Amino acid sequence: MAHGTAHGGEKLQKQTGRLEAFSDGVFAIAITLLALDLKVPHVTPSSPDLASALLAQWPSYFAFITSFFTVLIMWVHHHLIFRLVHRTDFRLLFANGLLLMLVTVVPFPTAVVAEYLRTPAAPSAVTLYAGVFVLISVAFCLVLMAAFRPSILDPDASRTAVARIRRDYRWGPPLYSAAAVAAPFSPWLAMGICAGLWIFWALTTRSVD
């Protein structure tokens, strides 16, 4: 019977392992696909100024760097949360699935911002961008709520770590919502908030670690 319990525990461990590995795979692929949006500029033989054409693409580079580090920090946070978890269930599986779906979507609003940041369509483009991150921050809260239940949480998990992560995550939805609300009026302010937030999360992560 003791053996049976140990065996069951090992199976559940393995289940969490495959969920983490699958999630890592999706994060790694989504973050790498961001770079596909860096397009080769087309210059003609008559005006072969490739250097200027490359520099003119700076909104692509800005959107790429912002999205890359935002997704990287999400991955670090995902990792910090699952370190505190010792098994999975239906609810955590689907909250995590929703989060992964939104993470795979990130290259899309990134490409929209890269294309339209310097055009009159910038307000709509940046609203979409910030809106996707509002959804992602809500999905992260759903994952947190599913993960930090007594049946899921590792009994050895540090209460301080759980409380700190829970507290820091409260900032996600309101701050990204502020960016989404600001976007129609000032796309640049909204992009600034998004870029500022990954730096904020990075510093928050340092304190958690």
Which residues of the chain form contacts with a second copy (CB under 8 A)?
7, 11, 14-15, 18, 20-22, 24-36, 38, 40, 43, 45, 48-51, 54, 65, 68-69, 72, 75-76, 79, 83, 89-90, 93-94, 97, 100-101, 104-105, 107-108, 111-112, 115-116, 119-121, 124-125, 127-128, 156, 202, 205-206, 209
Q: Where are the beta strands (DSSP E) in the chain?
A: none
Structure token digits, residue 117: 């940041």
CB of 196 to a second copy, least distance (A): 16
Q: Closer to a second copy at the Cβ: 32 or 188?
A: 32
CB of 22 to a second copy, least distance (A): 5
CB of 89 to a second copy, least distance (A): 6
Tell me which DSSP letter residue 152 carries.
Answer: T
What DSSP string runs through 177-201? HHHHHHTTT-HHHHHHHHHHHHHHH
Question: Would you say 104 and 34 are in contact if contact means Cβ atoms under 8 Å apart?
Answer: no
User: Taking the alpha carbons of 32, 38, 39, 40 in that order, is the dihedral positive or negative?
Assistant: negative
Q: Closer to a second copy at the Cβ: 44 or 150?
A: 44
Q: How far apart are CA 59 and CA 205, in angstroms?
A: 27
Q: Closer to a second copy at the Cβ: 91 or 141?
A: 91
Report the 10 Å Cβ neighbour count for 18: 10
CB of 125 to a second copy, least distance (A): 6
